[in-house]
């Protein structure tokens, strides 16, 4: 089955009458050879820099980017495993409570299942969860889910790729490396489709969203 979602800045030296110089994207440093600002981990994703190298004044400078990168490099990513599970709304409410998650030492990515054959209304609403935790916490996480009325011991446990292309998984690995956890809620509802097409059947209202 498949889940488907239903004016340029300038710089001037103090006391100088020289005309302001344009802000260049290429970072300059007296002590070392710098790299382009866009190659730093903290560089915001988007349309910048423009073709002439201009970026908004609010964008971080080299010092901020270097400090952020040094801080990130000082953190260690935790080695995690994950499980894909489905729970009903009463269990979901308990499992996503911050104090309950902290005690259970797990993180979640949550997807609401739209009303249909696999999900109802109110307490019968279903949630698709990806559960992340450290392998040594397996028993603790299973107890937490059992306490919330969700038995997950039969669900397959798979390793999380340390080089995962998913930004959410990278964030969760760093968070667990600092002893923290997170619940990432998807803003869409998802429908469960069955069929032979690897992409699943198309929704009849699909063209309205194109």
Same domain, 184 and 116: yes
CATH number of the domain that 118 lies in? 3.30.70
36 SS3 class:
strand
**Looking at the domain assignment, is residue 21 inside a domain?**
no
Residue 184: beta bridge partners?
A: 109
Average pLDDT over residues 138-151: 97
What is d(CA 176, CA 77) in angstroms, rounded to the nearest whole number? 7
Is the pLDDT confidence value at 22 over 50?
A: no
- Residues 86, 149: one domain? yes
Say if residue 159 is in the same domain as residue 92: yes
Question: Domain range for residue 185?
Answer: 81-193
Entry pTM: 0.64
Q: Which pLDDT score, from 0 to 100, does residue 154 have? A: 92
Q: To 5 degrees, how large is the angle CA 122–CA 128–CA 133?
A: 125
> Across the chain, what does the average pLDDT equal?
81
pLDDT at 149: 95
- pLDDT, residue 144, reads 97
Q: Do 97 and 185 have their domain in common?
A: yes
User: Is 102 within a domain?
Assistant: yes
Which of the four pLDDT bands, split at 50, 70 and 90, describes residue 17? low
Same domain, 118 and 35: no
Same domain, 99 and 143: yes
Q: Do 68 and 150 fall within a single domain?
A: no
* Domains identified in the chain, total number: 2
Assess if residue 203 is contained within a domain: no
Please state which of the ranges 49-58, 113-122, 130-139, 141-150 shows the lowest mean pLDDT.
49-58
Q: pLDDT band for position 24 (50/70/90)? A: very low
DSSP string covering 48-102, please? -S-TTS---TTS--HHHHHHHHHHHHHS-PPP-EEEEEEEEHHHHHHHT-HHHHH
- Determine, yes or no, domain membership for 128: yes
Q: What average pLDDT does the segment 38-46 reach?
A: 78
Q: Are residues 128 and 159 in the same domain?
A: yes
């Amino acid at each position: 089955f498949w889940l488907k979602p239903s004016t340029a800045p300038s710089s001037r030296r103090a006391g100088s009458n020289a005309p302001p110089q344009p802000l260049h994207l290429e970072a300059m440093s007296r002590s070392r050879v710098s790299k382009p600002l866009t190659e730093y981990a903290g560089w915001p994703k988007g349309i910048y820099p423009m073709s002439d190298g201009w970026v908004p004044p609010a964008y971080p400078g080299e010092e901020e980017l270097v400090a952020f990168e040094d801080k990130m490099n000082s953190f260690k990513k935790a080695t995690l495993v994950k499980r894909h599970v489905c729970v009903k709304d009463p269990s979901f409410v308990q499992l996503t409570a911050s104090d309950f998650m902290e005690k259970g030492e797990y993180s979640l990515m949550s997807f609401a299942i739209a009303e249909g054959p696999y999900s109802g209304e109110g307490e019968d609403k279903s949630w698709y969860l990806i559960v992340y935790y450290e392998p040594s916490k397996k028993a603790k996480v299973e107890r937490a889910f059992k306490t919330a009325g969700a038995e997950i011991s039969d669900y397959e446990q798979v390793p999380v790729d340390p080089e995962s292309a998913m930004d959410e998984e990278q964030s969760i690995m760093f968070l667990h490396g600092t002893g923290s956890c997170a619940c990432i809620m998807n803003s869409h509802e998802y429908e469960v489709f069955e069929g032979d097409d690897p992409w699943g059947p198309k929704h009849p209202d699909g063209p309205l969203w194109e």
